Structure 1
Amino acid sequence: MRSGDDAPRTPAAQEAQAKDLCLRLLTDRARSRAELAKKLADKGFDEDVAVRVLDRLTAVGLIDDASFAAQWVHSRHTFSGKGKRALAMELRTKGVAPEVAAQALGQIDGDDERARATDLVRRKLRTTSLDFPVDGPGGRSSERERTVRRLVSMLARRGYPQGMAFDVVKSELARAGADTEDRPDG
């Protein structure tokens, strides 16, 4: 640990403190091994102490990156409406191995992703006016295209593929009675 700390310097005491820190962090929410390793490094624990503690916590099942990734994907897809691309980026930043992330992302198929995107667009359309003006600068086409771009952008920010996003928006606007025959440029 850092030299300015008043904490005991023995390896056993450092391991106990590192374990306590990890257990406190795991009380808040599940975390990946890499997240815990970073926190321990940030707090000044030696790498060998951190490895021993993380290995022990992994051995008893308190750290499980596969379980963490599956839980993360389910939660963020279901409750935050994130698409697979956004979830993959989040797992990468959490330090989850690509093969573990791919397995967790496999629980979301194309139909699930499309259904969630449809739900997000429907929710947004509840608060969006679809009464596009016929006359005036830009006219009906301009307002409709602006609405399509906004909805497609909302889905893209959440990690949905652009093609799927446009198809979902077009279908939902048609379902809501808006004319979307022309695809906006750009």
Structure 2
Amino acid sequence: MPLPPPSLKGRALRLLSTREHSRTELERKLRRHEVEPGQLCKVLDELQAKGFIDAQRVVESVVHQRAAKLGVARIRQELQHKGVAGDEAAAALAALQATELARARQVWRKKFGSRPADAEAPEAPDAAQRARQMRFLAARGFSGDTIRRVVSGADELLDETSDASGA
């Protein structure tokens, strides 16, 4: 005897047990399982009233998972895709903006920060290398100003890391 399909509430709780979901995400994922019109809204209203759906927790989760690797623009885009674009998102993104340069430098350093061991006097990156580095950071959502500051300061970063490791 086959088991009956899970209810909308059961499906929603299963999704919420894996990670935080916004109301918009749950609507998108559960819409095709709705039997009666309006049933999904009632289930989501109930879950939201009980605190299972919380936009602030979604924002905190996304920021916590993605801030080390992505810029503010990319995180904003992900939050908008998840259906969270209110005051909660604005406050978190404003806090991230203050650390964007440091985070971009860290991402750049992880990808481009090591020099070949046999290079005694490395030359500054040529235009093609700089463009590649700029595209790399732009794809991760860092602002143009931040990218220019990181890539133009890349030579100093290399010197700082070699001085720190050589001393």
| Cα distance, 1:165–1:25 mapped onto 2, change above 3 Å | same
- Tell me what 1:70 maps to: 60
* Aligned AA (1:117): A
The separation in 2 between residues aligned to 1:47 and 1:83, in whole angstroms, is: 40
- Tell me what 2:105 maps to: 118
Percent of residue pairs identical: 31
| Cα distance, 1:46–1:159 mapped onto 2, change above 3 Å | farther
1:1-186 paired onto structure 2 within 5 Å: 17-78=7-68, 81-110=69-98, 112-127=99-114, 129=116, 144-177=126-159
> Where does structure 1 lack aligned partners over 5 or more consecutive residues?
1-5, 9-15, 135-139, 178-186
Rg larger for: 1
Deviation at 1:7, TM superposition (A): 5.8
The separation in 2 between residues aligned to 1:31 and 1:22, in whole angstroms, is: 9
TM-score by length of structure 1 reads 0.73
The separation in 2 between residues aligned to 1:46 and 1:107, in whole angstroms, is: 42
**RCO higher in 1 or 2 (8 Å CA, sep ≥ 6)?**
2
The separation in 2 between residues aligned to 1:126 and 1:118, in whole angstroms, is: 9
The separation in 2 between residues aligned to 1:82 and 1:155, in whole angstroms, is: 8
The separation in 2 between residues aligned to 1:46 and 1:117, in whole angstroms, is: 48
- Tell me what 2:164 maps to: none
Q: What is the root-mean-square deviation in Å for CA atoms of aligned residues?
A: 2.7
| Cα distance, 1:93–1:51 mapped onto 2, change above 3 Å | same
Count of matched residue positions in the alignment of Structure 1 and Structure 2: 156
> Where does structure 2 lack aligned partners over 5 or more consecutive residues?
160-167
TM-score by length of structure 2 reads 0.80
Deviation at 1:74, TM superposition (A): 2.3
